A = this chain, B = another copy of it.
Amino acid sequence: MPNILDATDLNFLLYDLLDIEATLTATGHDRAIADAILTTAERLAEDMFQPFAAKADAQEPSFDGTHVHLIPETEAALTAYAQAGFPAAGFAEADGGMGLPYLLCQAAAGWFTAANVGFAAYPFLALAAGNLLAEYGTEAQKAAYLTPIIEGRYFGTMCLSEPQAGSSLADIRTRAEPQDDGSYRLFGNKMWISGGAHEMGENIIHLVLAKVPGGPAGTKGISLFIVPKFLEDGTLNDVHLAGLNHKMGYRGTTNCALNFGEQGGAVGYLIGEENRGLSVMFHMMNEARIGVGQGASVLGVSGYLHAVEYARERTQGRAVDNRDPASPMVPIIEHADVRRQLMQARSYAEGSLALCLYAASLVDRLRAGEDGVELLLAILTPVVKSWPSEFALRANDIAIQIHGGYGYTRDYPVERLYRDNRLNPIHEGTKGVQGMDLLGRKVVQDGGAPLRALAQEIMVTLGTADAFPQERDQLGALLQRVGAVTAGMAAQAASDPKAYLANATIYLDMLGHVVMAWMWLRQAIAAQGHSDPGFAQGKTATMRYFFRYELPATGPQLDLLESMDRTCLDADTDWF
Protein backbone atom coordinates (compact mmCIF):
# COMPACT_ATOMS: atom_id res chain seq x y z
CA MET A 1 0.00 0.00 0.00
CA PRO A 2 -0.69 2.98 -0.72
CA ASN A 3 -0.52 2.66 -4.56
CA ILE A 4 -3.77 4.60 -4.70
CA LEU A 5 -2.93 6.84 -7.64
CA ASP A 6 0.27 8.17 -9.18
CA ALA A 7 0.49 11.87 -8.29
CA THR A 8 3.10 12.49 -10.99
CA ASP A 9 0.83 11.10 -13.67
CA LEU A 10 -2.17 12.96 -12.30
CA ASN A 11 -0.29 16.24 -12.45
CA PHE A 12 0.86 15.42 -15.96
CA LEU A 13 -2.72 14.78 -17.05
CA LEU A 14 -4.07 17.91 -15.41
CA TYR A 15 -1.36 20.38 -16.33
CA ASP A 16 0.49 19.05 -19.38
CA LEU A 17 -2.29 17.22 -21.16
CA LEU A 18 -5.40 19.19 -20.19
CA ASP A 19 -4.01 22.62 -19.25
CA ILE A 20 -6.08 22.94 -16.12
CA GLU A 21 -4.11 26.06 -15.30
CA ALA A 22 -6.06 27.98 -17.94
CA THR A 23 -9.35 26.82 -16.45
CA LEU A 24 -8.21 27.69 -12.96
CA THR A 25 -7.22 31.17 -14.07
CA ALA A 26 -10.43 31.69 -15.99
CA THR A 27 -12.47 30.76 -12.90
CA GLY A 28 -10.49 32.93 -10.54
CA HIS A 29 -8.34 30.22 -8.98
CA ASP A 30 -4.71 29.24 -9.18
CA ARG A 31 -2.41 26.28 -9.01
CA ALA A 32 -1.78 26.73 -5.31
CA ILE A 33 -5.38 25.97 -4.42
CA ALA A 34 -5.48 23.07 -6.84
CA ASP A 35 -2.31 21.59 -5.37
CA ALA A 36 -3.66 22.03 -1.86
CA ILE A 37 -6.85 20.23 -2.73
CA LEU A 38 -5.11 17.35 -4.45
CA THR A 39 -2.59 16.97 -1.65
CA THR A 40 -5.33 17.00 0.96
CA ALA A 41 -7.32 14.45 -1.01
CA GLU A 42 -4.29 12.19 -1.27
CA ARG A 43 -3.53 12.45 2.44
CA LEU A 44 -7.13 11.88 3.53
CA ALA A 45 -7.48 8.97 1.13
CA GLU A 46 -4.32 7.41 2.54
CA ASP A 47 -5.17 8.02 6.18
CA MET A 48 -8.93 7.62 6.44
CA PHE A 49 -10.11 5.69 3.37
CA GLN A 50 -7.63 3.10 2.16
CA PRO A 51 -6.77 1.55 5.55
CA PHE A 52 -10.40 0.45 5.99
CA ALA A 53 -11.24 -0.68 2.47
CA ALA A 54 -10.57 -4.35 3.22
CA LYS A 55 -12.50 -4.14 6.48
CA ALA A 56 -15.48 -2.51 4.77
CA ASP A 57 -15.41 -5.34 2.27
CA ALA A 58 -15.20 -8.09 4.89
CA GLN A 59 -17.78 -6.56 7.23
CA GLU A 60 -20.41 -5.42 4.81
CA PRO A 61 -23.36 -3.32 5.98
CA SER A 62 -26.10 -5.20 7.80
CA PHE A 63 -29.71 -4.40 8.63
CA ASP A 64 -31.19 -5.70 11.86
CA GLY A 65 -34.74 -4.77 10.91
CA THR A 66 -34.46 -1.35 12.52
CA HIS A 67 -30.93 -0.06 12.08
CA VAL A 68 -28.33 -0.26 9.35
CA HIS A 69 -24.85 -0.97 10.64
CA LEU A 70 -21.71 0.21 8.88
CA ILE A 71 -18.20 -0.10 10.21
CA PRO A 72 -17.60 3.05 12.27
CA GLU A 73 -14.62 4.10 10.15
CA THR A 74 -17.11 4.97 7.42
CA GLU A 75 -18.61 7.95 9.19
CA ALA A 76 -15.23 9.01 10.56
CA ALA A 77 -13.79 9.17 7.05
CA LEU A 78 -16.76 11.01 5.62
CA THR A 79 -16.76 13.49 8.46
CA ALA A 80 -13.11 14.26 7.79
CA TYR A 81 -13.91 14.55 4.09
CA ALA A 82 -16.70 17.04 4.83
CA GLN A 83 -14.62 18.99 7.32
CA ALA A 84 -11.91 19.40 4.73
CA GLY A 85 -14.51 21.13 2.57
CA PHE A 86 -14.69 18.65 -0.32
CA PRO A 87 -18.50 18.68 -0.63
CA ALA A 88 -18.36 22.39 -1.46
CA ALA A 89 -15.52 22.24 -3.97
CA GLY A 90 -17.47 21.98 -7.20
CA PHE A 91 -20.57 24.01 -6.47
CA ALA A 92 -21.01 27.59 -7.62
CA GLU A 93 -19.98 30.28 -5.22
CA ALA A 94 -23.50 31.70 -5.49
CA ASP A 95 -24.78 28.45 -3.99
CA GLY A 96 -22.19 28.46 -1.24
CA GLY A 97 -19.61 26.37 -3.07
CA MET A 98 -16.02 27.06 -4.04
CA GLY A 99 -16.64 27.16 -7.79
CA LEU A 100 -13.65 24.97 -8.60
CA PRO A 101 -13.31 23.35 -12.02
CA TYR A 102 -15.11 20.07 -12.53
CA LEU A 103 -11.83 18.59 -13.76
CA LEU A 104 -10.12 19.37 -10.47
CA CYS A 105 -13.01 17.92 -8.47
CA GLN A 106 -12.92 14.74 -10.51
CA ALA A 107 -9.19 14.40 -10.01
CA ALA A 108 -9.55 14.86 -6.26
CA ALA A 109 -12.44 12.40 -6.20
CA GLY A 110 -10.17 9.86 -7.87
CA TRP A 111 -8.06 9.60 -4.73
CA PHE A 112 -11.06 8.68 -2.59
CA THR A 113 -12.57 6.23 -5.04
CA ALA A 114 -9.32 4.44 -5.68
CA ALA A 115 -8.63 4.25 -1.96
CA ASN A 116 -12.03 2.97 -0.87
CA VAL A 117 -14.91 3.10 -3.29
CA GLY A 118 -17.31 1.77 -0.67
CA PHE A 119 -16.82 4.86 1.49
CA ALA A 120 -16.46 7.35 -1.35
CA ALA A 121 -19.76 6.50 -2.99
CA TYR A 122 -21.82 8.10 -0.20
CA PRO A 123 -20.61 11.69 -0.64
CA PHE A 124 -20.41 11.34 -4.42
CA LEU A 125 -24.08 10.38 -4.54
CA ALA A 126 -24.84 13.42 -2.43
CA LEU A 127 -22.89 15.60 -4.87
CA ALA A 128 -24.79 14.17 -7.83
CA ALA A 129 -28.08 14.97 -6.10
CA GLY A 130 -26.74 18.40 -5.23
CA ASN A 131 -25.72 19.11 -8.82
CA LEU A 132 -29.22 18.33 -9.96
CA LEU A 133 -30.76 20.53 -7.28
CA ALA A 134 -28.36 23.33 -8.18
CA GLU A 135 -29.45 23.15 -11.79
CA TYR A 136 -33.20 22.54 -11.46
CA GLY A 137 -34.24 23.25 -7.86
CA THR A 138 -36.21 26.31 -6.82
CA GLU A 139 -34.49 28.74 -4.47
CA ALA A 140 -36.50 27.28 -1.59
CA GLN A 141 -35.50 23.73 -2.55
CA LYS A 142 -31.87 24.78 -2.81
CA ALA A 143 -31.96 26.40 0.61
CA ALA A 144 -33.63 23.37 2.16
CA TYR A 145 -31.65 20.59 0.48
CA LEU A 146 -28.68 21.85 -1.50
CA THR A 147 -27.08 23.97 1.20
CA PRO A 148 -26.79 21.13 3.72
CA ILE A 149 -25.39 18.88 0.96
CA ILE A 150 -22.74 21.50 0.22
CA GLU A 151 -22.05 21.71 3.94
CA GLY A 152 -21.60 17.95 4.05
CA ARG A 153 -24.52 17.43 6.42
CA TYR A 154 -26.97 15.72 4.04
CA PHE A 155 -26.49 12.70 1.84
CA GLY A 156 -28.40 11.89 -1.32
CA THR A 157 -29.48 9.13 -3.68
CA MET A 158 -30.84 8.62 -7.17
CA CYS A 159 -33.92 6.38 -7.25
CA LEU A 160 -34.50 5.30 -10.83
CA SER A 161 -34.67 1.52 -11.18
CA GLU A 162 -37.47 -0.68 -9.99
CA PRO A 163 -37.45 -4.44 -9.59
CA GLN A 164 -39.36 -4.92 -12.85
CA ALA A 165 -37.63 -2.03 -14.66
CA GLY A 166 -33.86 -1.87 -14.55
CA SER A 167 -32.64 -0.48 -17.83
CA SER A 168 -36.17 0.25 -18.99
CA LEU A 169 -37.28 3.45 -17.27
CA ALA A 170 -40.34 3.70 -19.49
CA ASP A 171 -41.77 0.90 -17.40
CA ILE A 172 -41.43 2.28 -13.90
CA ARG A 173 -44.59 2.06 -11.83
CA THR A 174 -43.92 4.30 -8.84
CA ARG A 175 -46.73 6.85 -8.81
CA ALA A 176 -46.85 10.35 -7.37
CA GLU A 177 -50.24 11.68 -6.42
CA PRO A 178 -50.57 15.47 -6.32
CA GLN A 179 -51.81 16.99 -3.06
CA ASP A 180 -53.68 20.22 -2.46
CA ASP A 181 -50.62 21.82 -0.87
CA GLY A 182 -48.56 21.37 -4.02
CA SER A 183 -46.62 18.40 -2.66
CA TYR A 184 -47.05 14.79 -3.82
CA ARG A 185 -47.43 11.43 -2.18
CA LEU A 186 -45.29 8.68 -3.67
CA PHE A 187 -46.08 4.96 -3.77
CA GLY A 188 -43.80 2.32 -5.23
CA ASN A 189 -40.72 0.15 -4.95
CA LYS A 190 -37.25 1.22 -5.98
CA MET A 191 -34.31 -1.12 -6.49
CA TRP A 192 -30.50 -0.82 -6.58
CA ILE A 193 -30.46 2.37 -4.52
CA SER A 194 -26.84 2.96 -3.55
CA GLY A 195 -26.55 4.81 -0.26
CA GLY A 196 -30.30 4.40 0.13
CA ALA A 197 -30.13 3.55 3.82
CA HIS A 198 -27.65 4.43 6.55
CA GLU A 199 -27.60 6.59 9.64
CA MET A 200 -24.82 9.01 8.78
CA GLY A 201 -25.38 12.72 8.42
CA GLU A 202 -28.60 14.52 9.22
CA ASN A 203 -30.72 13.45 6.27
CA ILE A 204 -30.79 11.54 2.99
CA ILE A 205 -32.32 13.34 0.01
CA HIS A 206 -33.78 10.76 -2.37
CA LEU A 207 -34.32 12.01 -5.93
CA VAL A 208 -37.06 9.76 -7.22
CA LEU A 209 -38.48 9.14 -10.66
CA ALA A 210 -42.23 8.53 -10.59
CA LYS A 211 -45.33 8.91 -12.71
CA VAL A 212 -48.12 11.33 -12.01
CA PRO A 213 -51.43 9.51 -12.70
CA GLY A 214 -53.01 10.62 -15.97
CA GLY A 215 -49.70 11.52 -17.60
CA PRO A 216 -48.42 10.11 -20.89
CA ALA A 217 -47.27 6.50 -21.11
CA GLY A 218 -43.59 5.61 -21.25
CA THR A 219 -40.70 7.95 -20.61
CA LYS A 220 -42.77 11.01 -21.50
CA GLY A 221 -44.78 10.58 -18.32
CA ILE A 222 -41.92 10.53 -15.85
CA SER A 223 -41.46 13.24 -13.25
CA LEU A 224 -38.72 13.81 -10.69
CA PHE A 225 -39.25 14.32 -6.96
CA ILE A 226 -37.33 15.23 -3.87
CA VAL A 227 -38.18 12.70 -1.17
CA PRO A 228 -36.25 13.38 2.03
CA LYS A 229 -35.72 10.63 4.56
CA PHE A 230 -36.61 13.10 7.32
CA LEU A 231 -39.32 15.71 6.77
CA GLU A 232 -38.87 19.31 7.81
CA ASP A 233 -40.47 18.66 11.20
CA GLY A 234 -37.90 15.96 11.86
CA THR A 235 -40.30 13.04 11.49
CA LEU A 236 -39.49 10.10 9.27
CA ASN A 237 -40.96 10.18 5.79
CA ASP A 238 -42.77 7.10 4.50
CA VAL A 239 -39.65 5.51 2.97
CA HIS A 240 -38.75 2.05 4.18
CA LEU A 241 -35.78 -0.16 3.68
CA ALA A 242 -37.01 -3.41 2.19
CA GLY A 243 -33.59 -5.00 2.30
CA LEU A 244 -29.91 -4.64 1.56
CA ASN A 245 -28.39 -6.26 -1.49
CA HIS A 246 -25.38 -8.48 -0.89
CA LYS A 247 -22.93 -7.78 -3.62
CA MET A 248 -19.81 -9.19 -5.21
CA GLY A 249 -17.92 -6.01 -4.33
CA TYR A 250 -18.47 -2.32 -3.59
CA ARG A 251 -19.60 -3.73 -0.29
CA GLY A 252 -18.90 -0.69 1.85
CA THR A 253 -21.78 1.09 0.15
CA THR A 254 -25.28 0.03 1.13
CA ASN A 255 -27.36 -0.91 -1.87
CA CYS A 256 -31.03 -1.10 -1.15
CA ALA A 257 -34.53 -1.94 -2.13
CA LEU A 258 -36.66 0.93 -0.84
CA ASN A 259 -40.42 0.95 -0.45
CA PHE A 260 -42.16 4.33 -0.79
CA GLY A 261 -45.63 4.89 0.58
CA GLU A 262 -46.27 1.77 2.61
CA GLN A 263 -47.95 3.93 5.25
CA GLY A 264 -50.05 6.44 3.37
CA GLY A 265 -47.58 7.91 0.93
CA ALA A 266 -44.07 9.31 0.97
CA VAL A 267 -44.02 13.08 0.88
CA GLY A 268 -42.33 14.32 -2.30
CA TYR A 269 -41.68 17.66 -3.95
CA LEU A 270 -41.60 18.05 -7.71
CA ILE A 271 -38.37 19.23 -9.34
CA GLY A 272 -38.95 21.16 -12.54
CA GLU A 273 -42.13 20.41 -14.42
CA GLU A 274 -44.35 17.35 -14.40
CA ASN A 275 -43.47 14.78 -17.07
CA ARG A 276 -40.05 16.35 -17.69
CA GLY A 277 -38.27 14.25 -15.10
CA LEU A 278 -36.28 12.12 -17.47
CA SER A 279 -34.55 14.99 -19.23
CA VAL A 280 -33.71 16.52 -15.85
CA MET A 281 -32.36 13.19 -14.66
CA PHE A 282 -30.36 12.71 -17.83
CA HIS A 283 -28.64 16.00 -17.35
CA MET A 284 -27.29 14.49 -14.15
CA MET A 285 -26.89 11.08 -15.74
CA ASN A 286 -24.39 12.30 -18.30
CA GLU A 287 -22.07 13.51 -15.57
CA ALA A 288 -22.79 10.36 -13.59
CA ARG A 289 -21.64 8.34 -16.58
CA ILE A 290 -18.39 10.24 -16.73
CA GLY A 291 -18.12 9.52 -13.01
CA VAL A 292 -18.60 5.80 -13.58
CA GLY A 293 -15.85 5.78 -16.19
CA GLN A 294 -13.62 7.74 -13.86
CA GLY A 295 -14.31 5.38 -10.98
CA ALA A 296 -13.51 2.39 -13.15
CA SER A 297 -10.33 4.10 -14.30
CA VAL A 298 -8.92 4.87 -10.88
CA LEU A 299 -9.69 1.40 -9.55
CA GLY A 300 -7.82 0.08 -12.57
CA VAL A 301 -4.92 2.45 -11.98
CA SER A 302 -4.66 1.37 -8.36
CA GLY A 303 -4.55 -2.28 -9.43
CA TYR A 304 -1.87 -1.47 -11.98
CA LEU A 305 0.26 0.34 -9.40
CA HIS A 306 0.00 -2.58 -6.98
CA ALA A 307 1.01 -4.92 -9.81
CA VAL A 308 4.06 -2.82 -10.68
CA GLU A 309 5.20 -2.84 -7.08
CA TYR A 310 4.70 -6.59 -6.80
CA ALA A 311 6.51 -7.21 -10.09
CA ARG A 312 9.51 -5.25 -8.85
CA GLU A 313 9.69 -7.04 -5.51
CA ARG A 314 8.74 -10.60 -6.31
CA THR A 315 11.60 -12.72 -7.61
CA GLN A 316 10.88 -15.78 -9.70
CA GLY A 317 12.77 -17.58 -12.43
CA ARG A 318 15.58 -16.32 -14.63
CA ALA A 319 16.18 -14.78 -18.04
CA VAL A 320 15.24 -17.13 -20.88
CA ASP A 321 18.87 -17.31 -22.01
CA ASN A 322 20.23 -18.05 -18.54
CA ARG A 323 20.47 -21.79 -17.93
CA ASP A 324 22.32 -21.58 -14.61
CA PRO A 325 19.97 -22.71 -11.83
CA ALA A 326 22.47 -21.50 -9.23
CA SER A 327 22.18 -17.88 -10.38
CA PRO A 328 19.84 -15.70 -8.37
CA MET A 329 16.19 -15.37 -9.36
CA VAL A 330 15.18 -12.08 -10.94
CA PRO A 331 12.26 -9.76 -10.14
CA ILE A 332 9.40 -10.85 -12.37
CA ILE A 333 9.31 -7.44 -14.05
CA GLU A 334 12.45 -8.67 -15.83
CA HIS A 335 10.30 -11.16 -17.75
CA ALA A 336 9.09 -9.75 -21.07
CA ASP A 337 5.62 -11.25 -20.64
CA VAL A 338 5.18 -9.56 -17.27
CA ARG A 339 6.16 -6.25 -18.84
CA ARG A 340 3.67 -6.98 -21.61
CA GLN A 341 0.94 -7.52 -19.04
CA LEU A 342 1.94 -4.33 -17.22
CA MET A 343 1.89 -2.41 -20.50
CA GLN A 344 -1.52 -3.79 -21.26
CA ALA A 345 -2.90 -2.92 -17.83
CA ARG A 346 -1.34 0.53 -17.96
CA SER A 347 -2.59 1.27 -21.44
CA TYR A 348 -6.10 0.37 -20.28
CA ALA A 349 -6.15 2.02 -16.86
CA GLU A 350 -3.99 5.08 -17.32
CA GLY A 351 -5.49 5.64 -20.76
CA SER A 352 -8.96 5.41 -19.25
CA LEU A 353 -8.07 7.98 -16.63
CA ALA A 354 -6.74 10.34 -19.29
CA LEU A 355 -9.97 9.91 -21.24
CA CYS A 356 -12.23 10.52 -18.23
CA LEU A 357 -10.31 13.58 -17.13
CA TYR A 358 -10.43 14.84 -20.70
CA ALA A 359 -14.22 14.39 -20.57
CA ALA A 360 -14.27 16.28 -17.27
CA SER A 361 -12.34 19.10 -18.92
CA LEU A 362 -15.00 19.16 -21.62
CA VAL A 363 -17.64 19.69 -18.93
CA ASP A 364 -15.68 22.74 -17.78
CA ARG A 365 -15.42 23.97 -21.37
CA LEU A 366 -19.14 23.42 -21.84
CA ARG A 367 -19.86 25.43 -18.70
CA ALA A 368 -17.59 28.15 -20.04
CA GLY A 369 -19.82 28.27 -23.11
CA GLU A 370 -17.36 26.91 -25.67
CA ASP A 371 -18.89 26.01 -29.02
CA GLY A 372 -18.97 22.44 -30.22
CA VAL A 373 -18.15 20.90 -26.86
CA GLU A 374 -21.67 19.60 -26.42
CA LEU A 375 -21.28 17.51 -29.57
CA LEU A 376 -18.01 16.08 -28.32
CA LEU A 377 -19.56 15.16 -24.99
CA ALA A 378 -22.54 13.63 -26.75
CA ILE A 379 -20.44 11.20 -28.77
CA LEU A 380 -17.90 10.56 -26.04
CA THR A 381 -20.15 9.96 -23.03
CA PRO A 382 -21.10 6.38 -23.91
CA VAL A 383 -17.44 5.64 -24.64
CA VAL A 384 -16.28 7.30 -21.42
CA LYS A 385 -18.81 5.30 -19.43
CA SER A 386 -18.18 1.94 -21.01
CA TRP A 387 -14.60 1.65 -22.26
CA PRO A 388 -13.00 2.18 -18.83
CA SER A 389 -15.68 -0.02 -17.25
CA GLU A 390 -14.53 -2.87 -19.44
CA PHE A 391 -10.84 -2.25 -19.96
CA ALA A 392 -9.74 -0.64 -16.70
CA LEU A 393 -11.53 -3.60 -15.14
CA ARG A 394 -9.29 -5.83 -17.23
CA ALA A 395 -6.35 -3.97 -15.75
CA ASN A 396 -7.60 -5.21 -12.37
CA ASP A 397 -7.80 -8.71 -13.79
CA ILE A 398 -4.22 -8.43 -15.04
CA ALA A 399 -3.12 -7.16 -11.64
CA ILE A 400 -4.50 -10.35 -10.08
CA GLN A 401 -2.69 -12.43 -12.67
CA ILE A 402 0.66 -10.71 -12.07
CA HIS A 403 0.33 -11.47 -8.36
CA GLY A 404 -0.16 -15.17 -9.12
CA GLY A 405 -1.67 -17.16 -6.26
CA TYR A 406 -1.23 -14.22 -3.91
CA GLY A 407 -3.46 -12.11 -6.12
CA TYR A 408 -6.23 -14.64 -5.66
CA THR A 409 -6.12 -14.21 -1.89
CA ARG A 410 -7.80 -11.53 0.14
CA ASP A 411 -4.44 -10.70 1.75
CA TYR A 412 -3.69 -8.54 -1.27
CA PRO A 413 -6.02 -5.77 -2.45
CA VAL A 414 -6.12 -6.66 -6.13
CA GLU A 415 -8.98 -9.17 -6.06
CA ARG A 416 -11.10 -6.71 -4.07
CA LEU A 417 -10.34 -3.93 -6.54
CA TYR A 418 -11.53 -6.27 -9.27
CA ARG A 419 -14.75 -7.08 -7.43
CA ASP A 420 -15.40 -3.43 -6.66
CA ASN A 421 -14.83 -2.45 -10.27
CA ARG A 422 -17.06 -5.20 -11.66
CA LEU A 423 -20.10 -3.06 -10.90
CA ASN A 424 -19.11 -0.39 -13.36
CA PRO A 425 -20.12 -2.12 -16.61
CA ILE A 426 -23.58 -2.59 -15.08
CA HIS A 427 -24.80 0.55 -13.33
CA GLU A 428 -25.78 3.88 -14.89
CA GLY A 429 -26.63 2.07 -18.12
CA THR A 430 -25.13 -1.29 -19.02
CA LYS A 431 -22.64 -1.61 -21.82
CA GLY A 432 -25.42 -2.75 -24.13
CA VAL A 433 -27.40 0.38 -23.30
CA GLN A 434 -24.36 2.56 -24.02
CA GLY A 435 -23.90 0.92 -27.40
CA MET A 436 -27.50 1.67 -28.30
CA ASP A 437 -27.10 5.23 -27.07
CA LEU A 438 -23.97 5.68 -29.19
CA LEU A 439 -25.15 4.17 -32.44
CA GLY A 440 -28.88 4.69 -32.09
CA ARG A 441 -28.78 8.29 -30.89
CA LYS A 442 -25.41 9.99 -30.94
CA VAL A 443 -24.08 8.78 -34.30
CA VAL A 444 -27.25 9.80 -36.14
CA GLN A 445 -27.83 13.01 -34.13
CA ASP A 446 -27.69 16.28 -36.10
CA GLY A 447 -26.78 14.53 -39.33
CA GLY A 448 -23.68 13.00 -37.81
CA ALA A 449 -22.30 16.20 -36.27
CA PRO A 450 -21.03 14.60 -33.03
CA LEU A 451 -18.80 12.08 -34.81
CA ARG A 452 -17.53 14.80 -37.16
CA ALA A 453 -16.69 16.97 -34.15
CA LEU A 454 -14.72 14.09 -32.65
CA ALA A 455 -12.92 13.39 -35.92
CA GLN A 456 -12.00 17.06 -36.15
CA GLU A 457 -10.48 17.02 -32.68
CA ILE A 458 -8.50 13.91 -33.53
CA MET A 459 -7.29 15.55 -36.76
CA VAL A 460 -6.00 18.47 -34.72
CA THR A 461 -3.89 16.06 -32.71
CA LEU A 462 -2.64 14.31 -35.84
CA GLY A 463 -1.48 17.68 -37.08
CA THR A 464 0.83 17.94 -34.07
CA ALA A 465 2.07 14.34 -34.17
CA ASP A 466 5.08 14.70 -36.44
CA ALA A 467 7.25 13.07 -33.79
CA PHE A 468 5.24 9.87 -34.30
CA PRO A 469 4.64 9.61 -38.04
CA GLN A 470 3.84 5.90 -38.01
CA GLU A 471 1.16 6.21 -35.37
CA ARG A 472 -0.13 9.44 -36.92
CA ASP A 473 -0.65 7.68 -40.23
CA GLN A 474 -2.12 4.58 -38.61
CA LEU A 475 -4.71 6.56 -36.70
CA GLY A 476 -5.41 8.86 -39.65
CA ALA A 477 -6.14 5.96 -41.97
CA LEU A 478 -8.26 4.28 -39.32
CA LEU A 479 -10.27 7.45 -38.77
CA GLN A 480 -11.07 7.64 -42.46
CA ARG A 481 -12.24 4.08 -42.42
CA VAL A 482 -14.43 4.69 -39.37
CA GLY A 483 -16.09 7.53 -41.25
CA ALA A 484 -16.69 5.42 -44.33
CA VAL A 485 -18.01 2.40 -42.43
CA THR A 486 -20.25 4.57 -40.27
CA ALA A 487 -21.67 6.29 -43.33
CA GLY A 488 -22.38 2.94 -44.92
CA MET A 489 -24.13 1.72 -41.79
CA ALA A 490 -26.09 4.93 -41.27
CA ALA A 491 -27.40 4.72 -44.82
CA GLN A 492 -29.27 1.59 -43.75
CA ALA A 493 -30.36 2.84 -40.32
CA ALA A 494 -33.80 3.96 -41.45
CA SER A 495 -34.62 1.02 -43.70
CA ASP A 496 -33.36 -1.71 -41.39
CA PRO A 497 -32.95 -0.33 -37.86
CA LYS A 498 -32.61 -3.79 -36.35
CA ALA A 499 -29.65 -4.68 -38.53
CA TYR A 500 -28.17 -1.22 -38.04
CA LEU A 501 -28.20 -1.66 -34.27
CA ALA A 502 -27.46 -5.38 -34.07
CA ASN A 503 -23.73 -4.84 -33.57
CA ALA A 504 -23.94 -1.61 -31.59
CA THR A 505 -21.70 -2.95 -28.85
CA ILE A 506 -19.02 -3.87 -31.39
CA TYR A 507 -19.24 -0.32 -32.73
CA LEU A 508 -18.83 0.99 -29.19
CA ASP A 509 -15.75 -1.19 -28.64
CA MET A 510 -14.27 -0.11 -31.96
CA LEU A 511 -14.82 3.59 -31.41
CA GLY A 512 -13.53 3.24 -27.86
CA HIS A 513 -10.25 1.86 -29.17
CA VAL A 514 -9.96 4.71 -31.67
CA VAL A 515 -10.57 7.28 -28.94
CA MET A 516 -8.10 5.55 -26.65
CA ALA A 517 -5.40 5.51 -29.34
CA TRP A 518 -5.98 9.23 -29.74
CA MET A 519 -5.67 9.73 -25.98
CA TRP A 520 -2.40 7.83 -25.94
CA LEU A 521 -1.03 9.77 -28.86
CA ARG A 522 -1.95 13.01 -27.13
CA GLN A 523 -0.25 11.82 -23.96
CA ALA A 524 2.92 10.82 -25.80
CA ILE A 525 3.05 14.22 -27.47
CA ALA A 526 2.37 16.08 -24.22
CA ALA A 527 4.99 14.04 -22.36
CA GLN A 528 7.84 14.89 -24.73
CA GLY A 529 8.97 17.88 -22.71
CA HIS A 530 8.56 16.20 -19.33
CA SER A 531 11.30 16.89 -16.81
CA ASP A 532 11.74 13.15 -16.21
CA PRO A 533 12.90 11.52 -19.48
CA GLY A 534 11.86 8.11 -18.15
CA PHE A 535 8.33 9.39 -17.73
CA ALA A 536 8.22 10.50 -21.35
CA GLN A 537 9.73 7.20 -22.51
CA GLY A 538 7.18 5.24 -20.49
CA LYS A 539 4.28 7.18 -21.98
CA THR A 540 5.72 6.77 -25.47
CA ALA A 541 6.26 3.05 -25.04
CA THR A 542 2.76 2.54 -23.70
CA MET A 543 1.37 4.55 -26.61
CA ARG A 544 3.33 2.33 -29.00
CA TYR A 545 2.08 -0.75 -27.17
CA PHE A 546 -1.50 0.38 -27.62
CA PHE A 547 -1.06 1.12 -31.31
CA ARG A 548 0.67 -2.20 -32.00
CA TYR A 549 -1.05 -4.66 -29.67
CA GLU A 550 -4.53 -3.25 -29.17
CA LEU A 551 -5.61 -0.85 -31.88
CA PRO A 552 -5.33 -3.36 -34.75
CA ALA A 553 -8.30 -5.21 -33.21
CA THR A 554 -10.45 -2.49 -34.78
CA GLY A 555 -9.68 -3.86 -38.25
CA PRO A 556 -11.75 -7.03 -37.91
CA GLN A 557 -14.39 -5.09 -35.95
CA LEU A 558 -14.80 -2.65 -38.83
CA ASP A 559 -14.96 -5.55 -41.30
CA LEU A 560 -17.76 -7.03 -39.26
CA LEU A 561 -19.63 -3.74 -38.91
CA GLU A 562 -19.26 -3.05 -42.61
CA SER A 563 -20.79 -6.43 -43.42
CA MET A 564 -23.85 -5.61 -41.23
CA ASP A 565 -23.49 -9.12 -39.91
CA ARG A 566 -26.81 -10.69 -38.89
CA THR A 567 -25.57 -13.86 -37.16
CA CYS A 568 -26.80 -12.80 -33.72
CA LEU A 569 -29.78 -10.82 -34.96
CA ASP A 570 -31.14 -13.77 -36.88
CA ALA A 571 -30.42 -16.35 -34.19
CA ASP A 572 -33.58 -18.03 -33.00
CA THR A 573 -34.16 -17.74 -29.28
CA ASP A 574 -34.80 -21.48 -29.18
CA TRP A 575 -31.29 -22.28 -30.35
CA PHE A 576 -29.73 -21.34 -27.00
Interface residues of A (CB under 8 A from B): 161, 164-168, 170-171, 191-192, 217-220, 245-249, 308, 311-312, 315-317, 319-321, 325-326, 329, 331, 333-343, 346, 400-401, 404-405, 407-411, 415, 418-419, 422-423, 425-427, 430-432, 435-436, 440, 497-498, 501-506, 534, 537-538, 541, 544-545, 548-549, 552-553, 555-556, 559-560, 563, 565, 567-569, 571-576
Contacts and interface: CB of A to CB of B under 8 A. Distances in A.
Contacts of A502: 336-337, 340
B534 A333 contact: no
B168 A503 contact: no
A342 B192 contact: no
A246 B411 contact: yes
Contacts of A440: 320
Nearest to A335: B432
Contact of A346 (B217, B321, B343, B576): B576
Contact of A555 (B501, B549, B556): B556
A440 to B, nearest CB: 7
A219 B326 CA distance: 11
B432 A407 contact: no
A132 B245 CA distance: 46
Contact of A316 (B168, B342, B427, B537): B168
A409 B247 contact: yes
**Residue with the greatest number of chain B CB neighbours at <10 A, chosen from A408, A425, A545, A563:** A408
Nearest to A535: B575
Given A410-B246, A415-B248, A568 B340 contact: yes
A432 B337 contact: yes
B573 A545 contact: no
Nearest to A171: B329
A211 to B, nearest CB: 11
A24 B574 CA distance: 33
Nearest to A333: B573
A498 B573 contact: no
Contacts of A568: 336-337, 339-340, 343, 545
Given A325-B217, A335-B432, A567-B545, A576 B408 contact: no
A303 to B, nearest CB: 13
Q: How many copies does the complex hold?
A: 2
A498 B321 contact: yes
Nearest to A496: B321
Given A339-B571, A567-B548, A404 B167 contact: yes
Contacts of A501: 320, 336
A559 B569 contact: no
B165 A316 contact: yes
17 contacts: A166-B405, A311-B576, A320-B440, A321-B497, A336-B498, A337-B505, A337-B568, A340-B502, A400-B426, A404-B426, A405-B426, A408-B423, A534-B574, A545-B568, A552-B555, A552-B556, A555-B555
B316 A166 contact: yes
Contacts of A572: 534, 537-538
Nearest to A412: B248
Residue from A171, A192, A341, A571 having most chain B Cβ neighbours under 10 A: A571
A565 B548 contact: yes
A498 B560 contact: no
A538 to B, nearest CB: 3
B569 A247 contact: no
B316 A167 contact: yes
Nearest to A505: B337
Nearest to A545: B567
B340 A505 contact: yes
A404 B422 contact: no
A383 B166 CA distance: 39
Given A246-B410, A411-B246, A548-B567, A168 B329 contact: yes
A248 B408 contact: yes
Contact of A192 (B312, B317, B405, B422): B405
Of the listed residues A312, A315, A430, A556, the one surrounded by the most CB atoms of chain B closer than 10 A to its CB is: A556
Contacts of A408: 247-249, 422-423, 426
Given A167-B317, A335-B432, A548-B563, 10 more contacts: A166-B405, A168-B316, A246-B410, A248-B410, A336-B569, A343-B568, A408-B422, A548-B567, A549-B567, A555-B556
A560 B569 contact: no
4 closest residue pairs by CB, A with B: A218-B325, A552-B556, A538-B575, A340-B568
Contact of A576 (B342, B426, B555, B563): B342
